[in-house]
Structure 1
Amino acid sequence: MSMIFKKYRFTSKLMIAYLLLTVIPIGILGYISYIEYERSVETQVGTYIPKLLRQSNQNIDRQLEELQNLPELIHNSREMIGILRKGSYQSQSEMLKDRFTIESNLTRYYLSGNYKGLLGVFIASKNRIFQSARVPYEHFDELASFPFDQAAEAEREVRILLPKSAPLTFEGDIPYLLFAKSIYDSDNRTTLGTIYIAVDLQFLKDALDELIEGDSTELWIMDENGQIIYHPDPERIGRRFAEIANFPLKNGSFEKRTAAGGELYSVSQSRLTGWMLTHRIAVEELTGEASQVRNMVFVVFVIMIIVTGAISIFLTWNFTRPINQLSLLMKDVERGNFDVDLQIRSRDEVGMLARRFNQMVREIRDLIRENYQIEIKQKEAELYALQFQINPHFMYNTLETIAMSVEEDEKEKVVEMVTLLGRMLRYSLSDNQSIVPIMKEVQHTEDFLRIQVHRFEEALDYAIHQSIDMDAYMTPKFILQPIVENSIKYGLENRQQLKIDLTIEYVKDYRDNTDAIRFVIRDNGVGMDADRLEQVRQTLREIPAMTRDSGVGLANVHSRILLKFGEPYGVRIDGEEGEGTVTTVIIPALRRSERLP
């Protein structure tokens, strides 16, 4: 039968397989149309429940937003802020008086108001603890030293500690959410302490009780790691729901099969906290009347699997055997072996593919002989250079400096830095020409240096010297800024002040009576010892592949110049440890009116 299939085209084989694998199953499924009913029920429930969950999530988010604003009430009392600013006491009575004042205010502002779910409010400030609670509690001293998210604390955000995650406990083991926020003194720009507000989870129960219907329905809230924040069963609160890792989505419904039967999950993720409101119901409760039909469907499904599986195995083996042969030969080609021949003589599409493959290998062999690999390396080098036009760390540091200048109201400095950065981005995103006037390249490099001077101030100085008409000559794009960036990166490691000099000069009769342009970048940085200098020179001689591990600055610039212009152009480097580094870039003197390579 294998010989018979070889006479048919690949399209004919696919049509036969399609008929065998679809007509038979469709004929069988025509007798079990109840599946559509079951699916429609699940679809309706799976669409309706997420809408209810989303509405409940919005209600909960509104309540959480109100709770997150509670720590700000303390700033309404200048009396409490004044006490928290104190660092020491002259007498015990003065300290007790301040404690009574703050705890009375905590009761008045928080526990005596409309916030019925608050269990207690606590303040830890300068080795002092102030507290007011509705329910007896223990272990607050341990909570005051409990480690929280340092990033959130630095940003003065409200931190939410999940149930049973903190040492603080209330009488009756009441589960709670703990809201903690640093008390920031905006007048003195200091942190006075931390306020902790414990909230009973009863408000979550009130919001979700109406969604629980039936014995097999389960509803709970958990974070993105699966830690359960609220569950009708208090014993489940604080535990981890490990199956969250297998959830295919965070908003919507999906069905999960278990040994006990199917379960329909509906989830909705909070936009405020990222918590996931999860609803689970047994599929049997939705389609309980179809149990007998389900058994019949299972039998029919097994028969269908056996029939279609046997057909699929045979067809797959017949179709994939030549393709596997092609795959093995392609792996040989990937390893550099181009002396291969795919011996498939059938008349179908696989045979055509084999002939095309053999022809392609022969053409690649010819192209390699014509230095095709060199062209690919040049394109890869240019592409990689464009990827590093502006270092992401430079962007981050520049924006951070601008932000600090805005805070300090240095308007002129902000305007200048934004202008410089905009001009650098415009240069980077300009047309795709790889050769530009020297004036533009030097301007781009000077913009980078001026931004760095704003960042490092007196620690960095630079000078640019030129003895040619920079607008009359051309240069490859992005050959100076990466080198200057390296000088700053390594030159300031052990120096309090770094000086960078950039010289552009015309070189007459450089090699073989040809003229050249020489860029010399000098710095008074830490320099390099003899071993390190030789290692860098060896890297330049080898023209490494453009990877992040091969020295993006010098290696990239040298490789692009060498691949475009050849010897003797490129990058040279000299220097001594403690005496700074001198980097020389040589390119041919290309006038704007000449034909560029």
Structure 2
Amino acid sequence: MVKRLLSTYILLIVLPIVLTSSVSYYLYKQSMEDEVSVSVERTIRLLYSEVDGYFVDMVRLSTSIMTEDTQLDDDRNLLHIINERNAGRVSVHSLEAYTQVQRLNHFLNQLLNQKRDLNSVYLYTKSKEIFESHRSESRMTPQKLAYYEQQLMESGREWIMEKDEKDASIYLIRRINDPSHQYLGSIVLSIELSGLNQLMENAQLPKQDMIVLWNRQLPIFDPASKWPEYAIELSPTRIASMNKSFPSGSTLVTYASPQQSEWTLVAYLPYSALTEQIRTVRFWVLTAGGLCVLFSIIVAILLAMGMVKPVKAVRNAMRVMEKGFLNTRVVVRGTDEVAELAEGFNSMSEKLKELIDQVYLSDLAHKEAELIALHAQINPHFLYNTLEAISMVAEMQRPSEAAEMARALGLLFRAATEFEMLVPIHMELMLLKQYLLLQEIRFNGSLHIEYDVQPDVERVLIPKLSLQTVVENCFKHGFAAMRMPRQASIRVKVYAVQQTVSVEIIDNGIGIEQVRLNEIIQHLQMGTAEASHVGLVNVHNRIRLKWGKEFGMLISSRPGIGTAVTLNIPCERPGEQV
């Protein structure tokens, strides 16, 4: 009777109260978060307009040296002066040189006075002359100006942004071109962040952090240094909000990054800041309710514990076993039905572990044998082709090149005979370059090789000599029938997408007809090799045996244009296991 009363009380009173309170609190919290999200989006949209205008003014200011009103042949024209000094047509100690220096310095002073946030302005000409104007005593070294010029030229852009972590300044570097688009030098604007900081402080909420990015990558305004740890993937959009989980907790992230703009504004607002004022009330309400519920059900727990505890022990042991701990055992107490259940569980656990160990060891040995067989099949195939190439070069009376090919072959063969079947990508690329060295000698230097490798994937493991096997097919099937003067070209690209690393090998050979390509793809899917493409099928099988059927080789081709082979492997590094 007591158990029935306790069960009725819990089901009809305690549980409905707890559920109603939880749902009400959740709905209220969700409604408040949605309203704040909409409000933050409006604020960010307005603030972005201010930030975009702020930097657009700076970019427009940097172009003023090329948009002045004077004529190009006028001695006062800045582009004319810079061009004359670059060409060395003016004597250093002449009156004309002095007048030109005064004209350039006057322009820089005017430029500096147009914006309060400008700290310094530098003019760095093509002839390495430096003209500058400052508000403070800090100066930029010629080496740093040369470095920024190099960064600008390598970017291929008209202007770039750079950030100096030491002095907390940002720099806008712009090319100076004459009307015929000839490079004359660069202008560097040193921008203080005090004005931008004040603009952000006036708009942001308490505990809200804001970041301004250039080109969706470089954090040029990040006072809290949050971007390296809290970086998110950005897509071009006018305004967007999302809920992200960070080590500090759940956070509302709002950003504006229009397609046509160089600037991105990102705002982080912890959800804990939204509910800070109601957390105290929530704590006391939950505490009081919890104590009441605890007091009301403690009697039921005490009564049921004696019977439920042994059953829970068996249940917990089963859950542990589900996670792979097959040595789990249950302590047997007594001689009742629950004790018999525990004894049966212990016996089942022991027999299950024995069976799994037998199956696992058998399957592991089978896979290892298949991998070793496939690896051994590839090595003789490569050795035969390479020795044939060396023989051809020697017959052509080119002993030095034959010796160089022999040394490269020795390095490749030594690597091929090592026990490891998986090597880092950077080592695999080194072996591939040795192989391509052999082919370049065969092609009399007319072979064009291009590499595009992401640095963060160089330690990822890949089956040894797999890339070489693919490239062998480029020469055997792609370039063999290619007519001159078309130059043979191979492009190797390695990149990561999430947890998958892709290695693309693209040639400009004769390509593969669609019917033949379908046959090759069918052989890859079936895992069976024919004589002409045994290497490709072996590489495909090695990858799938090692990591599963979701990885392997993909082939696409267009007759007369070329063929692309892609190897997809997991992002596994030495010491890791996928």
Bin the TM-score by the shorter chain.
0.3 to 0.5
TM-score scaled to structure 2, two decimals? 0.47
TM-score scaled to structure 1, two decimals? 0.45
Structure possessing the higher relative contact order (Cα contacts under 8 Å, 6 or more residues apart): 1
